Amino acid sequence: MSTQSLPDVAFLQRLADAAAAETLPLFRSASLVENKEQDGFDPVTAADKQAEAAIRAVIEEVFPDHGIIGEEHGSVRQDASHVWIIDPIDGTRAFISGLPVWGTLVGLRVDGVARAGFMSQPYTGEFFVADGEKSMLIRKGEEPVRLSTRKRHTISEATLFTTTPALFATGTMRDAWDRLESKVRLPRYGTDCYAFAMVAAGFADIVVDPGLKTYDIAALIPLIEQAGGVVTTMQGTNAVHGGDIVAAATPELHAATLDILNR
């Protein structure tokens, strides 16, 4: 499919702006936090719900035949060729803690492939977007900056992110993480979608995050791929539906990471 059948960057920016109008007024405020998980803590805020509703309203207005999958408001027309996948606030724990490493994620899946999408961090004014051909960082009032991953090829030089090692269950999975972490130059934790954006922007090299849902990763796949990186599951398969995710700045680094994790 050509990029001509993809929405343009102006439309993606419109979605980001609609979400920001709902999230920014509630960031670092005393907004109500609900817990979605009975036996744990899975927070959701009014900002999550309102931002997704705003994004969906714009999509329904412009592309009523497209499917939508959202974290907060469910799915419609999932079998359509074009499906929008929305995480209104990826990093809700960061959001409610006042840390500006959360982001709004919107990806477009076309015939099962993640083709376009963005990560918007409205508090810092950063709009990381993939338009089907290239990835860019856009700040209002400035010229777009073309993104390119850092061309490191060896694990020993790499900066590695994960949300938290606690996500890796005990046993084989945790052993795999510990094995990888011991070989990199710099491991870092806790930045959710922002870590993936840093790989696309050339400031980090690897992200490994287990147990992601489709709305956690669909927008980030084209962002990294169109900057020169690789994103798959730990098994090397299409990551668009989620799973245990490995993103790397180069094909060589990605292959080496999979080798260590699956050894």
Say which residue, 98 or 153, is predicted with more confidence. Answer: 98
User: Of all residues in the chain, what percent carry a pLDDT higher than 90?
Assistant: 86
pLDDT confidence of residue 232: 98
Query: How does pLDDT run across 57-91, given as a tens digit for each residue?
Result: 999 999 999 999 999 999 999 999 999 999 999 99
**What pLDDT does residue 242 have?**
98
Enclosing H/E stretch for 209: strand 206-213
Per residue in 244-256, pLDDT (tens digit) is 999 999 999 999 9
Lowest mean pLDDT segment, chosen from 9-23, 28-42, 150-164: 28-42
Exposure letters 146-164 (e unless 16+ CB within 10 A, then b):
ebbbbebbebeebbbbbbe
Give yes or no for residue 167 having a pLDDT over 70. Answer: yes
The confidence score (pLDDT) of residue 197 equals 98
The phi-psi region of residue 77 (left if phi > 0; otherwise alpha if psi is between -120 and 50; otherwise beta) is left
For the chain, the distance separating the N- and C-terminal CA atoms, rounded to the nearest angstrom, is 37
Q: Is the pLDDT of residue 39 over 90?
A: no
Residue positions counted in the chain: 263
Quote the pTM value: 0.93
Question: Is the pLDDT score of 48 beyond 50?
Answer: yes
Enumerate helices (H) and strands (E) in the chain, giving the number of each. Answer: 8, 15
- CA nearest to 161, candidates 94, 254, 248, 259: 248
Q: Evaluate if residue 121 carries a pLDDT over 80.
A: yes
CATH superfamily of 3-146: Fructose-1,6-Bisphosphatase, subunit A, domain 1 (3.30.540.10)
Give domain 155-261's CATH number out of 3.30.1370.60, 3.40.190.80, 3.50.50.60, 3.30.360.10.
3.40.190.80
Q: What was the pLDDT predicted at 1?
A: 42
Q: Where in the chain is the domain with CATH 3.30.540.10?
A: 3-146
Residue 2 has a pLDDT of: 46
Instruction: Report the chain's mean pLDDT, rounded to a whole number.
Output: 93
Helices within the chain (DSSP H only): 9-23, 46-62, 92-96, 172-181, 193-201, 214-217, 220-225, 251-261
What are the two backbone dihedrals, phi and then psi, of residue 129, each rounded to the nearest 5 degrees? -140, 145
Reply yes or no on whether the pLDDT at 99 is more than 50: yes
Strands 126-130 and 135-138: antiparallel
pLDDT, residue 170, reads 77
* Closest of 92, 94, 142, 135 to residue 114, by C-alpha: 135
Q: Is the pLDDT of residue 40 over 70?
A: no
According to DSSP, the residues that pair with 106 across neighbouring strands are 86, 118
| Cα→Cα distances 210→19, 131, 156, 166, 233, Å | 26, 26, 22, 10, 9
Mean pLDDT, residues 226-254 taken together: 98
- For the chain, residues classed under CATH 3.40.190.80 are 155-261
- Whether 169 has a pLDDT exceeding 90, the answer reads no
